[in-house]
Chain A
């Protein structure tokens, strides 16, 4: 019985010691999590090849996957017959200062691809202007040629780990990182 008591005491003490000594300071508050991989903002800048106004397409979702919907703005109308050089910039504005995400996407170019979908009604064509290290489209840079006066949606979709090469968004697979539609007017 003595042996038992001794053993019990030792075990108890050890357990209590092990379990309590590793405890963090109970008064410490948890640090806030600033989501690192969230993309809050997509800005597509369309610079006309010749003269004309630069058009800015922007979708901003400052609460990430929170309940608020993204705010989508288009700075103006496109001009018929004009070719635009487009660049896409991605930001995480939850972090301060905002974290640029475009470079990460370009570094992991084999795992990413942008797709541009021109909605019915809009007379425009798009083409890729940059490629990954294997020569397949990446698409953070593109050309948009505005056709005749019309209006409709232009959708940018960024897929993570798509099948590459692919024949377009229908067989690309992968996961959707971004999907934004801008309603454009060509005049």
Chain B
């Protein structure tokens, strides 16, 4: 069942985030900021840009390598959501068919360029977000958000959401299994039954929230979840951020790819 794989994938992403490598040890705030700068730089390219986007794959590639993240796993997740980007972009070559270049005898339309550009940007932005969460535990991300000024209520309930995501998904799996065992074909999946199933799940959820609340009250809950682990921004963190910014500036404002291509052409002429 597709949801099984979806579910186990979340667990795997979660486990990956608790590894201990150079990337994992960086301060979560720094990683969040670096990821956002990266995303901004990537989407700031104009719609027909293709070539200059290529060097940006160095960023996810380095994080995957140094963070020891399995490449096929990330690739599969990117591919999983790609039909969506393909669908959106596929209209471009159809609607914008002006030929803008003839490369080695093959005419290239403007729409094709913008389509390619969307695909590259898609791969870059999706992998950057996935890698952020694969190298930073979700509680650490929440902690970073808190330190970056997000409201306490928001962050606290986000932590709750994440903690109980796995619990409730298992609960839903049990409900689905129970329903499937008692029904054939599409029987049991009518809206009426669905509403009741969801209603039951909702009751269990609300009761659980109540129990959690009482359990936490008795442990001194005051509306905030303090983190025992203290994060400090070290010189290494700052150096990482500085290098990221230099990298982004160089590849955003200088046409490095094209330059390399020209040099290669000169060499082999």
Task: Please determine whether chains A and B interact with each other in the same assembly.
Answer: no
**Interface of B toward A, CB cutoff 8 Å:** none
